[in-house]
Amino acid sequence: MTQLYKESKEISYYMCDRHQRVTLSMLVNLLLDVSEKHSEGLGRGETYVKEKGLSWIILRYDFDIQRLPKVNETVEIETVATEYNKLFTYRDFFVKDLEGNELIKVTATFALLNHSNRKMARITEELVEPYKAVFSKRIRRLAKPQEIDNSVYNEKQYEVRYFDIDSNHHVNNSHYITWLLDSLGSSYLSKFEITGGTITFDKEVNEHQIITSVSSGRKADELWTDHVITSDTVRHCQASFKWKTVEKEG
Amino acid sequence: MTQLYKESKEISYYMCDRHQRVTLSMLVNLLLDVSEKHSEGLGRGETYVKEKGLSWIILRYDFDIQRLPKVNETVEIETVATEYNKLFTYRDFFVKDLEGNELIKVTATFALLNHSNRKMARITEELVEPYKAVFSKRIRRLAKPQEIDNSVYNEKQYEVRYFDIDSNHHVNNSHYITWLLDSLGSSYLSKFEITGGTITFDKEVNEHQIITSVSSGRKADELWTDHVITSDTVRHCQASFKWKTVEKEG
């Protein structure tokens, strides 16, 4: 039996956008908060991992969104580490309303970083045993975000801000999402709301860097957008998102 | 007897900076969340005020900080509307640790905005009665933030981002604070932590605007900084902050 952990979260006004829905950035903050609590409860929290000279890094998110929670709504966030192999662990998150309806499913792919050589470390049984995740040799082959369509795109530059670096001493994950989405511009973002997508992280963005976020609507289907974050010649992050026309709040 | 309202809040990793302390921006988000709950409980929430064609705007914060809460700490936030006159209401916030020690006191000055003419509205008994705040004719005369010292300063520009606009359809208060502080630069911010200060809001920043945040250390005392946010010839916000050398986490 895998270990399931859940926690209620209330969606506050400051977590929401003008459509009264939680932003994707804030959603990710809430999910990671819940997964860290899960790990702490199993004696595998950040401090434990750090003492071994390691840290978990996120390589990928896959989102499937029925409905984004709205301001003042209380939701239940469930999480479970489902599977691991020697390089990756996979964790699912389910956001449910108070009637138990699934609003959002997110799968996150994690890897272990060795602090001394800055390389990926092998995942040991000892580290993941308490989660009761299933070991499977198979490394999942997941579709990459689509390359951007070079003919029609928006481009914006962002400078990493002092407070973008969080208590883990890294640019908080949520800021990549803000950079990815903000580059679409307000005319797109006011009209459409997100229903799913994939984000992959390649190389970390550091303090003082200026990054370029490029986004592009697909010619074949304007309800898909593709994204890339780069600096100089380095690619930091890629994403593809699916959208639908915004449903106005009643 | 004035109406006191309180709520516990846990400080999550994403609310904190590299010193493991809650950021001033996130602190303000938490305070306003608690004050909105207070108002809702008294039947004077945002919806009630909106139906009257009005909304509360914040004109000023005065901070007195003994210690900023740290990551994973649970604090109690108490709030009380202390006093009002025909133009302003004053609300105090107290952030306490679980032993009841006062960590932070914040006083916020609110005014009422009339949506139809965009002017300040007179505060009526009916609107504020449930808070049991004291009516006092006297309008508080509070010291303004100090003008910046033009000889030594940092300056940065920021573009308002799509997600800076929150569910109230305004640039969320917390972003002004990020702009004010970020302009100090990381060498200052890594060395010092905030112990108090004052922020005053003059004119709202709108979407698509580019603002300039200027900050300056006082010649006479480097533990004070003065700040102004402008766009073209308009002043949006001013602040003065007091600092002390950062206390490293043990």
B248–chain A Cβ distance below 8 A for any pair? no
How many angstroms separate the CA atoms of B212 and B199, rounded?
Answer: 16
How many angstroms separate the CA atoms of A88 and A107, rounded?
Answer: 12
Q: Kindly report the nearest CA distance between residue A139 and chain B, in angstroms.
A: 30
Cβ within 8 Å, pair B18-A167: yes
Residue A179 DSSP SS3:
helix
Residue A30 DSSP SS3:
helix
Residues from chain A contacting residue B250 (CB–CB below 8 Å) = none
pLDDT at B33 (0 to 100): 96
Six-digit token string for A184: 């679409």
Q: In chain B, where are the structural domains located?
A: 4-135, 154-245
Local structure of residue B221 (DSSP, 8 states)? -
Query: For chain A, what's the residue count?
Result: 250
Residue A90: CA count within 13 A, CB half-sphere: 17
Nearest CA in chain B to A174: B14
B208–chain A Cβ distance below 8 A for any pair? yes
Domains B4-135 and B154-245 fall in the same CATH topology: yes
Residue B172: which of A14, A25, A29 has the nearest Cβ? A14
Q: Which CATH code for domain A1-142?
A: 3.10.129.10
Mutate to test the interface with B, among A40, A49, A162 (most CBs of B within 10 A): A162
CB A213 within 8 A of CB A156: yes
Of B217, B144, B227, B233, the C-alpha closest to B178 is B227
Cβ within 8 Å, pair A17-B162: yes
CA distances in angstroms from B23 to A121, B16, B125, B175, listed in the order given: 33, 5, 35, 11
Look-up: residue for tokens 């997600």? B163
CB B213 within 8 A of CB B180: yes
Burial tier of A123 (Cβ tally within 10 Å: 0-12, 13-18, 19+): buried
Residues from chain B contacting residue A166 (CB–CB below 8 Å) = 13-14, 16-18
Nearest CA in chain A to B169: A18
Mutate to test the interface with A, among B28, B71, B162, B193 (most CBs of A within 10 A): B162
Please state which architecture CATH assigns to domain B4-135.
Roll (3.10)
The tens digit of pLDDT for each residue in B18-35 reads 999 999 999 999 999 999
CB A238 within 8 A of CB A144: yes
Phi and psi at B229, nearest 5°, equal -115, 125
Residue B25 DSSP SS3:
helix
Cβ within 8 Å, pair B162-A14: no
Cβ within 8 Å, pair A14-B29: yes
B3–chain A Cβ distance below 8 A for any pair? no
Cβ within 8 Å, pair A178-B172: no
B154-245 CATH choice from 3.10.129.10, 2.60.120.330, 3.40.50.970, 3.40.50.920:
3.10.129.10
Residues 6+ apart with CB under 8 A from A30: A9, A15, A22, A77
Six-digit token string for A10: 């209330």
With vertex at residue A137, the alpha carbon angle to CA A136 and CA A139, rounded to the nearest 5 degrees, is 95
Query: For chain B, what's the residue count?
Result: 250
Residue A238 DSSP SS3:
strand
CB A238 within 8 A of CB A227: yes
How many angstroms separate the CA atoms of B208 and B201, rounded?
Answer: 19
Cβ within 8 Å, pair B169-A18: yes
Residues from chain A contacting residue B165 (CB–CB below 8 Å) = 17-18
Six-digit token string for A138: 């198979």
Look-up: residue for tokens 């580490």? A81
User: What is chain B's pLDDT, residue by residue, as a tens digit (250 residues)?
Assistant: 678 999 999 999 999 999 999 999 999 999 999 999 999 999 999 999 999 999 999 999 999 999 999 999 999 999 999 999 999 999 999 999 999 999 999 999 999 999 899 899 999 999 999 999 999 988 899 999 999 987 778 999 999 999 999 888 889 999 999 999 999 999 999 999 999 999 999 999 999 899 999 999 998 887 999 999 999 989 999 999 999 998 765 4
pLDDT at B1 (0 to 100): 65
ipTM for this model: 0.93
The tens digit of pLDDT for each residue in B135-153 reads 998 889 999 999 998 777 8
Phi and psi at B129, nearest 5°, equal -50, -45
Cβ within 8 Å, pair B186-A207: yes
Instruction: Return the H-helix or E-strand segment holding A25.
Output: helix A24-41
Q: What is the CA radius of gyration of chain B?
A: 18
Please identify among residues 68-97 of chain B the ones whose CB lies closer than 8 Å to any CB of chain A.
Answer: 71
A143-250 CATH choice from 3.40.190.10, 1.10.150.120, 3.10.129.10, 3.40.640.10:
3.10.129.10
Please identify among residues 95-154 of chain B the ones whose CB lies closer than 8 Å to any CB of chain A.
Answer: none
Cβ within 8 Å, pair A167-B208: no
Q: Kindly report the nearest CA distance between residue A132 and chain B, in angstroms.
A: 25
Q: Identify the segments of chain A with pLDDT beneath 70.
A: 1, 248-250
pLDDT at A151 (0 to 100): 73
Listing DSSP states for A44-55 in one string gives -SHHHHHHTTEE
